[in-house]
A and B are shown apart, each in its own frame.
Chain A
């Protein structure tokens, strides 16, 4: 998972033609629809790569 649009696992189905209403919140706080530490870590890795400091992320 390099970008938020990439699926963390097969549970995630969000795409422009199969949209998920929780997508935006899921990018930073997800996964919302399932519970998997590995999927959460993938999102965290995207954030940590570019976050300038601790105040960078706004939920």
Chain B
């Protein structure tokens, strides 16, 4: 028996911030003291709080240590493991707590979260099927084996689960369509082609709890009458793929995958298909084409995949988070319990990836219906550097931005749609006052334009024309007619594109025009970018009345464009200045002003 369990975050985010080196240092320290065998070390799944990684949680004490470095391990071993004391300096500290915080109960990031999908992440060893079973794993599947397939679909429908990948279609209904489709051969496909910039919900679920996905697929297979499944996962997720392969091997050894599973007349096998990272392959029909070995391009529907999907057979495609919810719903009493959380039209919880100008970047799982304000300020800790919140981009490049006036908007499928955004897969990119909304729209459109597969003209040509206009506006060559042209092109592309990529990619442009039209007009008419992002449309000037001559900006400037004596107001040489923004970041007196080109006066306020 072990004295304590040390769960180290072994997900991609923490690995990239050095959790492997921390683990190595911890092992060395324990070996030095000859106590290694008394403790169990697990490189587990993601506890969500990426901002403060690498993280170790020690059980049963339930102590959360964060921002760890290999050099901290000697003290952690000496004080906590040997001495039984808390290492206060390694506990969570932040502007949102008065005293260093111990764990979930006192760290504000976790206060409003509810773990359903992430129930096992950071709790179990993701490479152990035994631990998954201990946590109630494969019980729902065992129950499903004894149920009528139609009854399984009915339970999923009753729970109100809607697809977590984007459109939010009823999962139970989707299953029912495939179940009723004629044919002996059917497929289950798990869409793990997470492609939105800044989104990593699916990766974390796959890395932290791979058996939950297998169980979701098995239940789906039982419900629709399929005997084979595919997981289509980005090749850029090597750890997720490694853990999925281990999980499949274990489930096969345990007789949970294979033939006559658990003595029932049910066979199921799962294959992994690694995708090459094309964004369009997240679209159902493009994904199916890619699995079939064809070029990843969408096709027109009908027929829908439920009638004619993979290799022409009826197919259900669900995303990772959708499938991870299934075992919770199909367990005894699970559907009613699931439906108790959330809103009338959006049941359960949703995992979001918080990114951008937010203090607490990471993953959070919150009940549907929570407001944007609660996510940004209570979970996310507010805006970095204490700046003002400007907007949040929900739903990635297919989504839209929601402005500060709508901070109290509840997060659910219908409210987001009404606001011009979408739930998408759950990426939330937060923006502050220094974000230029025209540039943001340009960025997301440049992403979708590059990722357009080129099959249909509206998307291929339309996105290119829209991007040309946005480039022109951000370079100072916008004309007043541009806004109407953008609007007209956007609706044409939305209405006539073949697939979801084209039908949704104008959303960032439309939503920024809707909520930030003044910024577009300022770029076009005044040739001014007040956020200080579009380099052709502003200059930095020093407010001579307030400059104390501290020289912080002089030291920060990489091109020596700032001159001035100590304690005397400084000056920026406009010929040399590259508008990199280093000076404005360093100035403590806020006396670097963003001004229109060729104008001395500050109009930024």
Contact = CB atoms under 8 A, between A and B. Distances in A.
B59 A24 contact: no
A59 to B, nearest CB: 7
A46 interface: yes
Interface of B is mostly: mixed
Given A4-B130, A48-B1, A20 B262 contact: yes
Interface stretch (B132-140, B169-177, B400-408, B576-584): B132-140
B255 A14 contact: yes
A15 B255 contact: yes
A24 B133 contact: yes
Contacts of B258: 16
Contacts of A14: 255
A24 B262 contact: yes
B260 A50 contact: no
A57 B134 contact: yes
Contact of B60 (A3, A28, A52, A58): A52
A39 B1 CA distance: 18
A5 interface: yes
Interface bracket on B: 35 or more
A50 B254 contact: no
Interface residues of A, number: 27
A11 to B, nearest CB: 16
A53 B254 contact: no
Contacts of B128: 50
B300 interface: no
A1 to B, nearest CB: 11
Interface in A1-39: 3-5, 14-17, 19-21, 23-25, 27-28
B123 interface: yes
Contact of B123 (A25, A46, A52): A52
A23 B60 contact: no
B136 to A, nearest CB: 4
A57 B135 contact: yes
Interface string B63-77: 000000000000000
B280 to A, nearest CB: 38
A52 B254 contact: no
B261 interface: yes
B134 to A, nearest CB: 5
Contacts of B129: 4
B1 A19 contact: no
B263 A28 contact: no
B343 interface: no
A57 B139 CA distance: 13
Interface in B42-100: 59-60, 62
Given A23-B262, A47-B134, A4 B254 contact: yes
Nearest to B4: A52
Contacts of A49: 1-2, 40
Contacts of B264: 21
Given A28-B134, A57-B134, 18 more contacts: A4-B130, A5-B254, A14-B255, A19-B260, A20-B263, A24-B139, A24-B256, A47-B134, A49-B2, A50-B134, A51-B134, A52-B59, A52-B123, A53-B62, A58-B134, A58-B135, A59-B136, A59-B139
Interface of B: 1-2, 5, 7, 40, 59-60, 62, 123, 125, 128-131, 133-139, 141-142, 145, 252-256, 258, 260-264
